[in-house]
Every structure is written in C-alpha cells, then in structure tokens.
C-alpha cells in the first residue's frame, strides 16, 4: 500500500511538472514570435444618413487580365474561390472563399477582382485552416464570416472570371462564373 501511494504522488508530481513546462514553452514561443507589420487598411466611408453601417471604399489594383491561358493554370495553395452564386442578382450574389492551406492567412492586402476592373479589398481578417468567408455584393454589415462589398448593382456575369490576388498582386486563385 505504501508503494502505491508513492507511485501516485510521483505521477501527480510528473503531471504538474509537465503542465508547467508546456505552459512555459508556449509562453516563450508566443512572446518571441515576430509581429508582422499591418498593411494599409481600406478606407471606411459613411453611408448617407438614411442608411446605417459602413462600406469599404476600394480601388482596383494595377492587375491586368492576360488573355493567355496561363492564368487558368493557377493552382491555389492557400485560398480558393469555391463558388460564385446568384450571379446577376444583387440580393443573392455572393462569392465563397475557402482556406485550403495549413497556415493562417491574413487577408490584409488581398483583393478579389473581375475582368471589368471591379475590385474588393479585404479588411483586416485572418483565416484559419478550413475556414471560409462569404463576400456579398450588396450592402450590409460585415462580420468575420460574411463580408459586404456595398455595391448597388451586381458584379458577376456568367462566363466571367474572378481573380483572387495576394498583397503582391500575384494571382492566387481563378474561378469562372457558371
């Protein structure tokens, strides 16, 4: 019986020492992790007094659509445009973007563009593995899983290509609207 008590005490001491060690290591890692500087955030503009909320005011980047098929060969490794639904109808038009990578991704500086030069710049939002965000074309109040472009007319047309650009204006994903 005496040996059993001694073993239990050693097991409890081992659990306590292990927990404290893990806590110290995790604390050191997170304290020494380099903080990445934030990119410039999109400007916010107020809506007219009869409407509430805010909309993002964005400008298209210098991206130009190339007509060769190299663009269609892009294989997404972080984010993908999973679908564009309700094209041509403002109230239902939306783009579903899914995180397919293994590391978290800050969307600051990322843009979604169409072939006509319409561009949406993503706000300060971090996507984690397996996460997704829905971008609605119409006005609304953005949350962490639903973003609103604030447009008065639909953006997407059948047969048009959507491009997801990273902060360096590199094409990371392409999707053709059905």
49-59: average pLDDT: 45
Structure tokens given for 171: 């094409």
pLDDT tens for residues 61-97?
444 444 445 555 677 888 999 999 999 999 999 999 9
Q: How far, in Å, CA of 18 to CA of 35, rounded? A: 28
Do the Cβ atoms of 138 and 155 come closer than 8 Å?
Answer: no
Task: State yes or no: pLDDT of 34 exceeds 90.
Answer: no
Which residues lie below 8 Å from residue 172, measured CB to CB, with a gap of 6+? 74, 76, 77, 78, 79, 110, 164, 165, 166
Structure tokens given for 178: 């059905």
Our measurement of the distance from residue 8's CA atom to the centroid of its chain's CA atoms, rounded to an integer in Å, reads 48
**CATH number for the segment(s) 58-176:** 2.60.40.1260
Q: Domain map of the chain by residue range?
A: 58-176
Task: State yes or no: pLDDT of 112 exceeds 50.
Answer: yes
pLDDT band for position 32 (50/70/90)? low
Q: How far, in Å, CA of 126 to CA of 69, rounded? A: 31
Q: How far is CA 63 from CA 23, 60, 118, 154, 168, in A?
A: 46, 8, 11, 21, 10
pLDDT tens for residues 125-156?
999 999 999 999 999 999 999 999 999 999 99
Q: Which one, of 42, 65, 51, 60, lies nearest residue 123 by Cα?
A: 42
Task: State yes or no: pLDDT of 119 exceeds 90.
Answer: yes
pLDDT of residue 61: 43
């Amino acid at each position: 019986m005496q040996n059993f008590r001694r073993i239990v005490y050693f097991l409890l001491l081992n659990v306590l020492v292990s927990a404290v060690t893990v806590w110290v290591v995790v604390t050191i890692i997170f304290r020494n992790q380099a903080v990445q500087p934030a990119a410039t955030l999109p400007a916010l503009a107020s809506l007219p007094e009869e409407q509430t909320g805010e909309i993002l005011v964005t400008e298209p980047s210098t991206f130009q659509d190339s007509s060769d098929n190299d663009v269609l060969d892009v294989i997404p490794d972080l984010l993908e445009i999973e679908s564009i639904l309700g094209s041509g109808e403002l109230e239902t038009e939306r783009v579903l973007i899914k995180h397919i990578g293994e590391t978290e991704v800050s969307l600051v500086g990322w843009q979604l563009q169409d072939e006509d030069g319409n561009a949406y710049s993503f706000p300060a939002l971090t996507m984690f593995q397996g996460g997704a965000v829905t971008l609605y074309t119409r006005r609304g109040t953005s949350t962490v899983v639903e973003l609103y472009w604030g447009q008065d007319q639909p953006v997407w047309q059948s047969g048009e290509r959507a491009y997801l650009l990273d902060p360096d204006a590199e094409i990371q994903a392409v999707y053709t609207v059905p």
